[in-house]
């Protein structure tokens, strides 16, 4: 009988040890699960922010398109007159085109308005 008591005592001690280990593992898994859920929430927020910013950028690009708009350059303080022209877009690139002038005339008009004259040497841009 004494042997059975010692065996039972050893058995319950082992069971208690196993229970303690399982309890510790359970708490560790719960903690890891909470951390994973928080990481998922953060990544979801980041994705939502990214999508919102992408949509905003796309909207801003769309608003900044200038196709077909007429515009009057306000350089009257420099030249004493308004210079009229219009915007032409090719894809996302926009160009301001003024009167039919030779190179030197265009260059002078740009200088009078404190603007730079762009020479387009790319055949793809010239054709579109």
Better-scored residue on pLDDT, 88 or 55: 55
Q: Of 15, 46, 64, which residue is a domain's last?
A: 64
| Sole residue written with tokens 């929430």 | 41
Model confidence pLDDT, tens digit, residues 23-48:
999 999 999 999 999 999 999 999 99
Residue-range definition of the domain harbouring residue 59: 1-64
Q: Of 18, 34, 64, which residue is a domain's last?
A: 64
- Separation CA 87–CA 126 (nearest Å): 15
Cα separation values, 33 from 26, 29, 38, 41, Å: 10, 6, 9, 12
18 backbone φψ class: left, alpha, beta (φ>0; ψ -120 to 50): alpha
Asked whether the beta carbons of 98 and 106 are under 8 A apart, the reply is: yes
Q: Residue 69 above 60 pLDDT? A: no
Please indicate, yes or no, whether residues 82 and 121 belong to a single structural domain of this protein.
Answer: yes
pLDDT of the residue at 67: 46
């Amino acid at each position: 009988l004494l042997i059975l008591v010692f065996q039972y005592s050893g058995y319950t001690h082992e069971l208690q040890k196993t229970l303690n280990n399982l309890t510790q593992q359970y708490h560790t898994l719960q903690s890891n699960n909470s951390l994973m859920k928080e990481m998922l929430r953060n990544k979801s927020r980041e994705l939502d922010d990214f999508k919102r910013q992408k949509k905003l950028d796309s909207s801003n690009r769309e608003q900044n398109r200038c196709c077909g708009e007429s515009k009057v350059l306000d350089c009257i303080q420099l030249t004493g007159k308004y210079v009229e022209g219009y915007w032409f877009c090719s894809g996302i690139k926009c160009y301001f085109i003024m009167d039919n002038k030779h190179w030197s005339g265009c260059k002078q008009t740009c200088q009078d308005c404190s603007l730079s004259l762009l020479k387009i040497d790319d055949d793809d841009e010239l054709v579109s």
